[in-house]
């Protein structure tokens, strides 16, 4: 009679490796987005902004985020500045003054309310801001 012991052991070893790779190792840390920096910090008329995320535990370098973009004037949403999904902000005709451009992204935390404040952050969202001056 033939013994399947070594083959069965190898099968379970491979199965355990596949499950560990698919689900993540129990010792792999969950990274939580701590801060978002918007670069450049300011622009005039039209500017291309980029959102950089800083996590805990940290990655080797900041992560370029796919952010949710928007603009505010004195902490209220505005339509005088538009921001594309890629972070390109521009003043509308007739807009005048300095506006806040924000980029926000989910924190990755498991216990936070899913609320997005009118000007970027709040709840599970972490936001960074920059300024856009319209002539």
Give residue 80's domain range.
Answer: 29-134
Residue 41 falls within a domain, yes or no?
yes
Residue 2 falls within a domain, yes or no?
no
Query: What span, in angstroms and rounded, lies between the C-alpha atoms of 17 and 19?
Result: 6
Residue 7 falls within a domain, yes or no?
no
The pLDDT value given to residue 115: 63
Q: List the single range of 25-34, 83-92, 101-110 with lowest mean pLDDT.
A: 25-34
CA distances from 28 to 20, 31, 60 (A): 11, 9, 15
Quick: pLDDT tens for 22-79: 444 444 578 999 999 999 999 999 999 999 999 999 999 999 999 999 999 998 999 9
For residue 35, which of 127, 121, 114, 116 has the smallest C-alpha distance?
A: 127
CATH classification of the domain holding 74 = 2.60.40
Residue 21 falls within a domain, yes or no?
no
Residue 84 falls within a domain, yes or no?
yes
Residue 1 falls within a domain, yes or no?
no
- Considering its fold, how many domains does the chain have in total? 1
Residue 16 falls within a domain, yes or no?
no
The pLDDT value given to residue 26: 45
């Amino acid at each position: 009679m033939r013994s399947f012991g070594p083959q069965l052991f190898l099968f379970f070893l491979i199965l355990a490796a596949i499950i560990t790779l698919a689900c993540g190792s129990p010792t792999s840390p969950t990274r939580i987005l701590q801060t978002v920096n918007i670069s450049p910090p300011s622009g005039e008329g039209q500017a291309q902004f980029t959102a950089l995320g800083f996590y805990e535990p940290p990655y080797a370098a900041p992560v370029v985020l796919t952010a949710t973009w928007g603009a505010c004037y004195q902490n209220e949403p505005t339509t005088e500045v538009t921001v594309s999904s890629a972070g390109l902000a521009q003043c509308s005709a007739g807009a005048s003054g300095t506006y806040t451009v924000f980029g926000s992204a989910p924190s990755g935390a498991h216990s936070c309310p899913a609320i997005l404040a009118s000007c970027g952050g709040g709840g599970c969202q972490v936001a960074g801001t920059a300024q856009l001056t319209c002539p």
